Amino acid sequence: MLVESPKLKSLVFIGSKLSKLDLALTPQLETLDLQGCNDLVELNMPVECPKLKSLVLNGYKLSNHDLEELHMPVTMLKAHSTTWILDLEGCNELEELHMPVACLKLKSLNLSGSKVRNLNLGLTPHLETLNLEDCHYLQEIHAPMYCLQELVYFNISGCSRFICFEVPDWYEIPGLNHLTSLQLFAESIYICPLHSNNTFPKFQFKCFYDEHLPSSSGNLEKLLSFGLCACINLESFSASSCDLQRLGKLTLEGSIPEVPKDLYLLESLKELSLSMKEIRHLPDSICMLKHLKSLKLSYCPLLEQLPKDIGRLESLEELHLTDCISFWGIPDNICPNLKCLNLNGCKVSNLNLGKTPHLERLDLAGCKDFVELHMPVDSLKLKYLDLSGCKL
């Protein structure tokens, strides 16, 4: 079909059996929707589409060869273009997509269901929506610093390593005290969907990332940089590899074998939550988190004690160790500004709180081995005390 209409602005063929479409003579086109045109194998676009705002090619049999021979659709997205949406959902033959440097106005990119392995986003500073759902072959996303400043929706569910990766809408999060946070849940899997013969330890992740100042961030790009292939040997989650300097809240759960030794690089960290069933100790470097206010350790059955220099966490106000059934060691120089101490279900037998004058809450419920408590009453501000289940 040849369309010769210099003034045409919108063209919609949904579910058509078109096999070839020539739009070379439609320079004013703003919207092109070819959703469900599964028989379409050839599409000829104008050399330049300065007014194109939406391009939907769901199900089109687009391949790398098409991109090279037809120069479509990527080369249309030039700096002067007004293109907002590029929807390639269900383009099952598409394996590579390299966004051009000058793709400055693209706001939405949908590649769900494609065979893309390596995605180079280039400079897409105004991208708001990125949908990579069920891209089972995806291994790497290259996102240069600050190219995802305005991203508000990111879907990578169904990929081999990440079973879930959610980025909430930053613009709808109220309050000035909200912390940039990362929750990473890692679980072991036995077979990599892409490399069944690989013998390295394999992990799948659920990841929730929440950043409230996108205009000044580069954190999300760094977070994506440590790869997506499920057969990568993950011995530890490195803070330095992600370079999340502004991260205020971090949650690590699941089968990650050890706590990152470079946590001290997260200079703004205020809340740290760990639920890691394989860890036996915390790195000494954790004592360098000078802004940390809350440390929560739960369901860490092999953890026995805290670092000896834990008292260096002068900003720490809350310390929770719940259901850490092997934990017995609380140093006498516990954090001086501590207000809440929760040891529910631990193996602690004695406790000296002489250097915690600001303590308000103490929970020792379920500490069956607990027999001795030293607590200078005249210097404490204690409001809540639970000793149920103790031998005291």
Q: Mean of the pLDDT values across residues 8-25?
A: 81
- Measured from the Cβ of residue 188, the count of other Cβ atoms closer than 10 Å reads 14
Residue 246: its pLDDT value, please? 75
Quick check: is 192 in a domain? Answer: no
Instruction: Give per-residue pLDDT as tens, 344-383.
Output: 999 998 888 888 888 999 999 999 888 888 876 665 688 8
What is 322-340 written as a DSSP string?
ES-TT--B--TT--TT--E
Q: Mean of the pLDDT values across residues 64-73?
A: 40
Quick check: is 115 in a domain? Answer: no
Q: In percent, how much of the chain has pLDDT > 70?
A: 71
Coil vs helix vs strand at 388: coil
Residue 232: its pLDDT value, please? 56
Whether 260 shows a pLDDT value over 50: the answer reads yes
Quick check: is 309 in a domain? Answer: yes
- Rounded to an integer, what distance in angstroms lies between the CA atom of residue 217 and that of residue 204? 26
Give buried/exposed letters for 311-336 (b at 16+ CB in 10 A, else e). bbbeebbbbbbbebeebbebeeebbe
Residue 77: its pLDDT value, please? 44
- Taking alpha carbons only, the member of 106, 82, 107 closest to residue 29 is 82
Whether 72 shows a pLDDT value over 60: the answer reads no
Number of domains present in the structure of the chain: 1
- Measured from the Cβ of residue 186, the count of other Cβ atoms closer than 10 Å reads 19
Instruction: Give per-residue pLDDT as tens, 86-145.
Output: 888 877 777 777 665 556 778 888 888 888 887 777 667 788 888 888 888 887 777 765
Q: Tokens 């050839």 sit at which residue?
A: 42
What is 229-285 written as a DSSP string?
-TTS--S---HHHHT-TT--EEEEEES--S--TTGGG-TT--EEEEEETT-----GG
Quick check: is 279 in a domain? Answer: no
Coil vs helix vs strand at 370: coil
Coil vs helix vs strand at 302: coil
Instruction: Give per-residue pLDDT as tens, 157-202.
Output: 777 667 777 766 544 444 445 677 888 887 777 666 666 676 666 6
Q: Mean of the pLDDT values across residues 225-245?
A: 58
Residue 348: give the domain boundaries: 292-392
Alpha-helical regions (H) of 56-215: 64-70
Residue 110: its pLDDT value, please? 87
Quick check: is 207 in a domain? Answer: no
More confident residue, 74 or 278: 278
Whether residue 363 contacts residue 323, with contact meaning beta carbons closer than 8 Å, is answered with no
Residue 204: its pLDDT value, please? 73
Question: How does residue 228 score in pLDDT terms, banded at 50, 70 and 90?
Answer: low
The CATH number that applies at residue 303 is: 3.80.10.10
Q: Could you tell me which residues come within 8 angstroms of residue 138 by beta carbon, excluding any fewer than 6 positions away?
A: 116, 117, 119, 132, 156, 159, 160, 228
Quick check: is 40 in a domain? Answer: no
Q: Would the pTM of this model clear 0.85, i.e. be above it?
A: no
Quick check: is 392 in a domain? Answer: yes
Beta bridge partners of 2: 22
Average pLDDT, the chain: 76
Number of DSSP helices (H) and strands (E) in the chain, helices first: 3, 25
Quick check: is 69 in a domain? Answer: no
Q: Mean of the pLDDT values across residues 217-237?
A: 57
Residue 111: its pLDDT value, please? 87
Residue 69: its pLDDT value, please? 37
Whether 5 shows a pLDDT value over 60: the answer reads yes
Instruction: Give per-residue pLDDT as tens, 284-331.
Output: 999 999 999 999 999 999 999 999 899 899 999 999 999 999 998 888
